[in-house]
Structures are given as C-alpha cells and as structure tokens.
Amino acid sequence: MDNSDQTLGKSLLDVLSGKSSDNPFPLFTQMRGMGSVVPIPFSMGGINHQAWVVTRMEETMQVLKDHTHFTVDRRSIVSSSAIEKNTDPSASSTFLTESMNAVDDPDHRRLRTLVSKAFTPRYMEGLRPRVQQIADELLDGVQTQGKMDIVKDYAYPLPINVISEMVGVPESDRRKIHVWSEAIANGLGLGRHDPGIEEHLQAFSSYFMRLVAEKRQHPADDLISQLIAIEEEGDRLSEVELLSLIKLLIFAGHETTSNLIATGTLMLLDHPEQLEKLKTDLSLIPPTVEELLRFNGPITIAGPRYATKDIEIAGQQIKKGDMIIPLVKSANRDEHQFVQPQELDITRKIKRHLAFGYGIHMCLGAPLARIEGDIALTTLLRRMPNLQLSIPRENVNWQSKLASHGLSSLPVVF
C-alpha cells in the first residue's frame, strides 16, 4: 500500500470512527476507483490488523451472504483464552455482543426466530395509527412557532417514542434512555471507545436488567413481556442474550430511523425539483423513501466480518482472521449498479439497495423503518409544504455515531 492509499485509508477510518464529519461520498467514489476490495490500515487494542473495505455492491453482497468464509463473531476464530464469552448481563463489555447482529447460525437463527414471534410484519403494520398520532402530536407542538429543529423536535423523538412504547419503557424513563443512547452512540465507533463511555454503558445495562425483572413480575402488552413469555415457554434465551436483544431493538429502532427522517428531509431540500415533484404527488413517498435510503441511508457500514479461512475476492487474497468492512453507503452508489448514482431521483426503479444490510443479518425492523419514514415525510410535507432551511446550507452540521452518519441539528422554518 503506497502513501496515497494509506492516506485514503486513514481518511476512511476517521469517517467510520466519527473523528471526521466531512462529506464522505467523494472519498467513497475514490475508493471505488481503487477497486472493489481495498486494503486499509487498522489498529484495534493497540494491535495492527489486516483490514479490507468492500466498496461495490456485488462484492458487498457476496461477503454479507457467505457464512462459510466470513463470520460476524471474531471470537469464533480467536482462541477462547484471548476473548472470553462474558456471561455477566450487566457488563458493559457485553453491549450488543450477544445480540442477533453479533452471532452466526445456529445462534442467530434461534434468536431471530424468537424475536420474529413478537416482531411480526402484521404487528408492525398495526403500529401505523400510533406512529401517525405521535407524528401529529410532535408537529402540533411546533406548528404555531413557524420554525423547528427537524432532528430535535421530530426526527429523533418520533422513532424513540415508538420503539420505547413497543419495548415497554415507561414514558417517565424515556428521557434517560435518550441521554444514554446519545452518549453511547457518540462514544462508540469502529476502533473507538471514548473515555467515560463505561458509565453510560453500565447505566443502560443496569436499567434494562431492572426493567426485565419488573416485567417478569408484572407482564404487560409489550415486547419485553412477550420475549419473557416466549422464553418461559421453553425456548433457550440467556439473560445476556435477552438484554442484548432489547438493547439492540432500542438502538436499531431509533438511531437509524431518526437519521433516515432528518437526512432524508435535508436531501429533499437540497434537491428542490425533486421536492416539488413529491409535494404535488405524495403517493411517491414510498419510492422516495427507498431512493433516500439508497442515496444517503443511515448506515455507513454493515458490521465488520472476519475471514474464517483464506479466500480470494475481486483479485485480493484475503487471509483467515482478516477484517472485512462492508461499506454499504459506497455500494449503494455503485456505478455498475445504478444509472447516475450520484443523483437523487425519487422516481428511480430500485431493484435493491443495502441500506438495511443483506443476508441473514438483514435488519429485522426494516418494515417498521419504512412505515415511520413514510408517515414522517408524508405528515411533514402535508402540514408544512413551505418547509425550508433557516440557516445557511454550509452551516448544517454532520456527526458520525456508531456505524451511522447523520445530522446533529436541522433548523427549518415553514
């Protein structure tokens, strides 16, 4: 790897770790030009690892669906003495490590089957009236002011209220969930673990341990109670797995959808001709949501994979133990897959995009995210058709959180 390649690799890691909030798409375009599978420098725990970033759709899909050569669980290819499986459900080190996203089959299939029993498409579709009610209540709160912050007043509270209700978090506790979630999302990233994050991870875990214990004593009509009931019917689910599932649902259920709503709104404001087309025909909202997910979706990367054996991809020799980073935001602008991929086109016929991942780890909550995106944008444009930025475009601030890249604030007038 020459110096220019190393510089690009470092720039990418700055984006993925959250150290950089620059527009990442020119960098992604450069990396696609270097190849479908590109080596980058990567250090974890002070140790250098061979890492590769996958930039194009075909190879990204190959990595995400090939469970013979790639695993999401690094422990499966490292000696057990090096990485012990933590069975303490309150330990911050288990944050999401036993969730569906971090294990392979057969454990993944078992966990996903359990959650699927409660998280059915019919159940999610049945949430439409409540999502609509929350969206209207949030806009009611700002309608007479003639201005709002899309992120703080709408895009963030909408999905976190929906998922908190679903999971069973009392309304009085949602502010705490918000604070912990923000701190954790801002403090963790690829190769990043900020000082002070342990306190929030511990508080987050301890809270849900108490909530699960309470739901065991007093079940209600919520997902935690349903998962407990399923577990008590005899399905195998450890306390660590149950807590990791709940924390994953909270995180996956609001961080990504919040980014979809806020970033999607900004992308439409950036493309006034597309916005006008949409305002004259709100039936275009569903394909618009798909195009927004493709064009600038919430997730920058899918969870890193690790090679379980030597394999060649796109001419690159991948060795057992190498880290593979699927760069889904780059794959979704692959020139080999899309005509004029750098353009936003709300009438685009999309065969597929990778905003929700691919393969067995594809996002279980994708139907809910689509429902929330549909209702949020429809309600916003119907009630506030004259929406426009209230600050100069260059003053809009981006931030990277975990594996996502979104807006910290979006002030608008209407």
What local confidence, expressed as pLDDT, does residue 398 receive? 87
Q: Which two three-digit tokens encode residue 123?
A: 């159940």
pLDDT confidence of residue 83:
44
Distance CA(188)–CA(114), nearest Å, equals: 28
Angle, helices 366-383/285-296, rounded to nearest 10 degrees: 110
Separation between Cα atoms, residue 222 and residue 210, nearest integer Å: 16
Distances (CA, A) of 368 to 136, 163, 204: 18, 10, 24
**What integer pLDDT is reported at residue 97 of this predicted model?**
57
Separation between Cα atoms, residue 56 and residue 41, nearest integer Å: 19
Domain residue limits, the chain:
3-413
> Pairing state of beta strands 323-326 and 47-54?
parallel
Q: CATH code for 3-413?
A: 1.10.630.10
pLDDT in tens, 151-184: 999 999 999 999 999 999 999 998 888 888 877 7
Supply the pLDDT for residue 241: 83
pTM: 0.89
Q: Residue 365 in 3-state DSSP?
A: coil
Return the number of other C-beta atoms located less than 10 Å from residue 26's C-beta.
Answer: 10
- Distance between CA 296 and CA 260 in Å, rounded? 8
The model's pLDDT over 41-85, given as tens digits with 9 standing for 90+, comes to: 876 655 667 899 999 999 999 999 999 999 998 887 775 434 444
Within 10 angstroms of residue 175's Cβ, the number of other Cβ atoms is 9
Weakly modelled stretches of the chain, pLDDT under 50: 80-86, 89-94
Tokens at residue 213, please? 């214990």
Report the pLDDT value the prediction gives residue 169, as an integer from 0 to 100. 94
Position 25: which residue type? F
Give me 131's structure tokens: 């999502």
How many angstroms separate the first and last alpha carbons of the chain?
51
Residue 411 pairs in a beta bridge with: 149
CA 197/CA 204 separation, integer angstroms: 11
